Structure 1
């Protein structure tokens, strides 16, 4: 059974000024073309996020732009007079408005998430980087290897002193022994002298 392996590193997001410039360029391009190039900003979004929802919206906006061009192209003259022309203009400006709002919201959210993921994987100053999960081979779930604790300085042991209780006990036993021997020796000497 295979584990999930190492997590892919998250790329550093572009600088905020670059992102704002790109957003302004794509929105301006869509507005200045009266909505005919609204698909361009959704193409950029779909390429950046790689989400199927964004690719689906790109296709829908492109189809709405083509349909509005066809409806406006069937209008006789330069002005809009028929229901088809009004539907074409409404479709064109509606997709422009909704496309701009969706593009800005989705693009900002995407790069906020990318920035947060990048910050989460970057190590804090002075701390070791977070260990990436690795394959265990049995459970397939990632774990972190243990981080060894820094070595602690040795604690000096207190100096060894002889136990005073033992010394006192030995001293008391010696005193008893010497008293006993004095008494014993004193009786013998008295008996010995009295026997002379």
Structure 2
């Protein structure tokens, strides 16, 4: 039997309470550690979303943490009161705020519920056996043109294509089989006709 094959597995969204608790924990770790553990939030975002951009943000947060450590290492006072110490602490705190904010953005974007009328989030991977054409939801998103841009006419959606010939062929074969079975009722003695 031929068909489209298996659909890709759909990831289930965790309960809202669990998501909120995890968001609070990871933001608190980034802020309460004064930025020393801010990379944990971006690591969590990169692992959950598995997007290349999120891994780059994680690497960037580690690089910024290294730069701030460089400034703090050149300050030999106990309270980081020199210019290098102040710059290092400012970088550390800004990195903590940026990492916490980006974590919230990435996590909310990844776990947002599907809202009817808007296109679904892009699927991870390739849907083998399914057409890869434009999304049927593309026409439902309201478009607001820029003020100086000229209005371009929107082409009408392509007409619905008829059912494939294969479906019509299978339907005809099933009708023939149904007619044949009506004309030749099954035998009650359990014998098979012609070795079939």
Give yes or no for TM over 0.5. yes
Q: CA deviation at 1:135?
A: 3.1
The answer (yes or no) to whether the contact 2:36–2:65 under 8 Å persists in 1 is yes
Q: Which residue of 2 aligns with 1:92?
A: 92
Taking the aligned partners of 2:19 and 2:61, their CA distance within structure 1 comes to: 22
Q: CA deviation at 1:83?
A: 2.4
Inter-CA distance 106–135: structure 2 relative to 1 (3 Å threshold): closer
Q: TM-score, normalised by structure 1?
A: 0.55
Inter-CA distance 87–134: structure 2 relative to 1 (3 Å threshold): closer
Q: CA deviation at 1:77?
A: 1.7
Q: Which residue of 2 aligns with 1:9?
A: 9
Q: Which residue of 2 aligns with 1:63?
A: 63
- Answering whether residue 139 of structure 2 is matched by residue 135 of structure 1, we say no
Q: Which residue of 1 aligns with 2:29?
A: 29
Q: CA deviation at 1:87?
A: 1.6
Q: CA deviation at 1:68?
A: 1.0
Taking the aligned partners of 1:47 and 1:14, their CA distance within structure 2 comes to: 15
Taking the aligned partners of 2:76 and 2:45, their CA distance within structure 1 comes to: 36
Q: CA deviation at 1:134?
A: 7.0
Inter-CA distance 134–31: structure 2 relative to 1 (3 Å threshold): closer
Q: Which residue of 2 aligns with 1:111?
A: 111
Tell me the secondary structure at the aligned position of residue 9 of structure 1: coil
* Greater C-alpha Rg: 1
The answer (yes or no) to whether the contact 2:26–2:100 under 8 Å persists in 1 is no
Inter-CA distance 134–49: structure 2 relative to 1 (3 Å threshold): closer
Tell me the secondary structure at the aligned position of residue 112 of structure 2: helix
Q: Which residue of 2 aligns with 1:154?
A: none
Q: Which runs of 5 or more structure 2 residues have no equivalent in the other structure?
A: 121-126, 134-162, 172-196
Could you list the runs of 4 or more consecutive aligned residues of structure 1 that deviate by over 6 angstroms after TM superposition? Answer: 143-146
Q: Which residue of 1 aligns with 2:140?
A: none
Q: Which has the higher helix share?
A: 1
Query: Deviation string for 1:150-192 (max 9, x for gaps)?
Result: xxxxxxxxxxxxxxxxxxxxxxxxxxxxxxxxxxxxxxxxxxx
Q: Which runs of 5 or more structure 1 residues have no equivalent in the other structure?
A: 122-132, 149-196
Taking the aligned partners of 1:110 and 1:135, their CA distance within structure 2 comes to: 26
The answer (yes or no) to whether the contact 2:30–2:99 under 8 Å persists in 1 is no
